[in-house]
Amino acid sequence: MRVGEKYRIVEKIIQTEDETILSEIKSLLGIDDISGDYWNTRPDSIKHTQEESFQQIKNGNVLASEEVMMEIKKRFLLNH
Per-residue pLDDT tens for 20-55? Answer: 898 888 888 888 765 556 677 778 898 899 899 989
Predicted confidence (pLDDT) at residue 79 exceeds the cutoff of 70:
no
User: Where exactly are the structural domains of the chain?
Assistant: 3-31+43-76
Q: CA-based diameter of the chain, in Å?
A: 43
Predicted confidence (pLDDT) at residue 80 exceeds the cutoff of 60:
no
- pLDDT at position 34: 57
| Rounded distance between C-alpha atoms, residue 45 and residue 47, angstroms | 5
Report the pLDDT averaged over residues 49-70: 88
